[in-house]
Amino acid sequence: MSASARASVSDDPLALESQICFALSVASRSVVSAYRPVLEPMGLTHPQYLVMLALWEQQPLALRDLARLLRLDPGTLSPLVKRLEAQGMVTRGRSTDDERALSIELTAAGVALREQAESIPERMTARLDVTRDELVLLHRTMSKLIAAAEAAEA
């Protein structure tokens, strides 16, 4: 593309390359793809890894609370949890506090997997060739965007 064509694209408010939604979409797919070879040896997909992160932080969790934390619909989350249960990483059962609520808890294997996962953030920083400071700034910016988008929906 010529310099004049690039200049006209950047001046166009509808240029694909200047859209934040496009950049976020491509970045999301690319980053999730970069996680794949790191997670595969652990037997996890990226969505399953997010479930495990939430449970390593706090357990047991009601399915609805896990869905809220991950910002997923419970109907989308349920099959992920069932696959993790089939792999022996979690158990699903009725909550002792509320028989209507499904409670998710790590098994011994799920707890043990945490040790293996502890190297993932550092490995991903290296794979993505970013510094810790760059990630902190990006996370802060993304959190601000998420909050603004959620406020706009409400």
Name the maximum alpha-carbon separation found in the chain. Answer: 67
Low-confidence winner among 82-86, 96-100, 114-118 (lowest mean pLDDT):
96-100
Query: What's the rounded Cα separation, in Å, for the pair 137 and 103?
Result: 35
Q: Average pLDDT, stretch 143-154?
A: 93
pTM recorded for the entire structure: 0.86
Q: Which of 115, 110, 60 is nearest to 83 (CA)?
A: 110
Token output for 34: 């970069």
pLDDT digits (tens, 9 = 90+) for 26-65: 999 999 999 999 999 999 999 999 999 999 999 999 999 9
Tell me the CB-side half-sphere exposure of residue 148, using CA atoms within 13 A.
6
Domains of the chain: residue spans and CATH: 1-42 (no CATH), 46-153 (1.10.10.10)
- What is the rounded distance in angstroms from the CA atom of residue 126 to the CA atom of residue 54? 23
pLDDT category of residue 154 using cuts at 50, 70 and 90:
confident
Tens-digit pLDDT profile for residues 1-14: 555 555 555 689 99
- Please give the pLDDT value at position 102: 84
Q: Could you read off the pLDDT of 12-33 as tens digits, one per residue?
A: 999 999 999 999 999 999 999 9
- CA–CA separation, 122 vs 139, rounded Å? 15
